[in-house]
Amino acid sequence: MTAPETLQPIAAGVEIVAGAVTALFVPGDRPERFAKAAASGADVVIIDLEDAVAAGEKPLALASAVDALARGGLRALVRVNPVGTATHGSEVKALLALAELQHHGLLGIVVPKAEEGEALAGLRAALPADLALVPLVESALGVVRAQELALVPGVTRLAFGAIDFALDINADGGDRFLDHARSSLVLASRAGGIAAPLDSPSIEIRDAGRVAESARLARNFGFGGKLCIHPAQVPIVNAEFQPTESDIEWARLVIGAEGGAAQVEGQMIDRPVTERAKRILEQARKGASHG
């Protein structure tokens, strides 16, 4: 069987997922939405078999996901149901079989309610090396064990599920009350040497200002990107994760002053400041090439 002419060679799923800023969920039982999600501008699509799908529709959602990814025209992550649930084993089995096809579009697996490093290690061992594995941390136990999860060999990056986490600890879902959890995932990822995590999606869809504020918060915490639940969120999140014109101007001034004792806008310039400036300019360059 030869690859469709429209299918172009791409990098491995691990590389794509590790570098993604936006990851857009699409319900697995709504295959008519798959193409729209793929055309949204999101760096990666996540076909959801869990929260967005009613219990009775999960087999249909799995079949729809496998069919779409087997045809080669769509590339996506798949969020399976949590370890220990009734459908988890059959979903993983079907996705592993899909990964054996020569021209499949599976980029990897998202594991919700991630808490057990041993379970992740077992799944990682079964997955082809080029497929991504993303633990979604959504509980107090998951946050406490974030370092353990980040250190599982082959985990691509962590992701944060704020709504379920807030429910688990009986907290208000407002961002202020989740600061510790967010910082924990960022620190665990950095210490584990993996890509910066993906932040929880904003529950706002129509209020662009609130979406932008949530994305800006995530960026300032040190997240590398954000989950999205609607295509309208994608361009807003992408924009907030790019350096502003004032950021770029400041970085250029700093680089211009590098090499001696100097001040820029009242700040003493030393190595950490110049390194941050270089990082901003590199991020701007990548953003320009991405656009």
Instruction: Provide the annotated binding site for Mg(2+).
Output: 138, 164
CA separation for the pair 1, 68 (Å, rounded): 17
Q: Which residues are annotated as a binding site?
A: 79, 138, 164
Residue with tokens 């096809």: 101
CA separation for the pair 264, 242 (Å, rounded): 22
How far are the Cα atoms of 102, 243, 261, 273 from residue 276, in angstroms, in the given order?
A: 42, 12, 17, 5
Dihedral Cα 132, 200, 222, 137, nearest 10 deg: -60
Question: What is Dmax (Cα atoms) for the chain?
Answer: 66
Q: Which residues are annotated as a binding site for substrate?
A: 79, 138
- Axis crossing angle, helix 245-257 with helix 271-290, rounded to the nearest 10: 130
Structure tokens at 38: 């793929």
